[in-house]
Amino acid sequence: MESRMSLGLAPKRRFSQNFLTDQRTAQKIADALQIRNGDHVLEIGPGTGALTKWLAVSNAASIVAVDLDERAIARVSSEPWVDHKRMVFKLQDVLQVRLSQVFPDVTPSQRCVIGNIPYAITSDILFWLFDQRADMRTSVIMMQREVARRCVAQPGTKEYGILSIASWYASTPKLLFQVQPGSFFPRPDVTSAVVRFEFRDHSPLDIEFEPFMAFVRAAFSQRRKVLSNALASWWSGTAAELRTTVAGVDLSTARAEQLTPQQLGAMCRELLARKGADQA
């Protein structure tokens, strides 16, 4: 097992750091990004450089690694395998990064994101990715296994929810493999998993992401309640108007967890149209 001395960097709790130490796993994650000639890669949180080392020997035209820990930036950027002509290390909050600004002169199909992300901000980072879905081709992210399962969950399962639908809207997500706690230092309490997101070229629904997700959040806010009750805080009309059939779904009996993203999209579109008609 790796020690903090052999890593050369002591994990800090405030950064939610669990450093990947298994090199075979690191290579497997890097390979999963399927880097092409001319690709430009953003790495979230290089840490001790386990993933960065494999990115360095890839076909990537450029690699930008972003971390909030200045010790990590200093350590990894000084490694002998770093090619400073095509590798840049930035002390920055990744949630403030825009891919179109980091790689301004390339097409979205040439941009990729990879990372063993801090588990404390997994949801924030995933929605940061989804918000920039039009600016990249693919992303490979290691996260808690339970969150990974939610990303790929199907209707009717206990994992299915807001994250499942957001992942589907933005991409074609695939859970690739699991990573055991012993692959990290310090050892986390949970098993991890790696998910690849292949981002869509166009929206799968004729409704924008933000209004659709506002509807989805309301629908799942009380997942055991029927939709006529769950949507009450989102709907601007009367309660009676929700006790009806919308897009072929009876809101007085159906629950969000039973419905596909397409069904929820059709419902959202029809209800928004009714809202607009009422306000006209």
Q: Residue-wise pLDDT tens for the chain (280 aa)?
A: 444 444 566 656 655 668 899 999 999 999 999 999 999 999 999 999 999 999 999 999 999 999 999 999 999 999 999 999 999 999 999 999 999 999 999 999 999 999 999 888 999 999 999 999 999 999 999 999 999 999 999 999 999 999 999 999 999 999 999 999 999 988 889 999 999 999 999 999 999 999 999 999 999 999 889 999 999 999 988 888 898 899 999 999 999 999 999 999 999 999 999 876 554 3
- Residue 280's pLDDT is 39
**CATH number of 4-199, picked from 3.40.50.150, 2.120.10.30, 3.30.420.40, 3.40.640.10:** 3.40.50.150
Using alpha carbons, list the distances in angstroms from residue 30 to 25, 101, 271: 9, 23, 43
Q: So what's the pLDDT on residue 274?
A: 85
Omega before 118 within 30 of 0, i.e. cis: no
Which residues touch 197 (CB under 8 Å, ≥6 apart)?
A: 129, 138, 139, 140, 141, 151, 167, 170, 171, 172, 173
* Contact status, residue 97 vs residue 67, Cβ threshold 8 Å: no
* 199 contacts 189 by C-beta, under 8 angstroms: no
**Residue 13, pLDDT score:** 63
Considering the segment(s) 209-279 as one domain, its CATH architecture is Orthogonal Bundle (1.10)
| Domain parsing of the chain, residue ranges | 4-199, 209-279
| CA geometry: angle 92, 111, 262, nearest 5 deg | 105
pLDDT at 11: 57
Q: Which residue has the tokens 């989805």?
A: 216
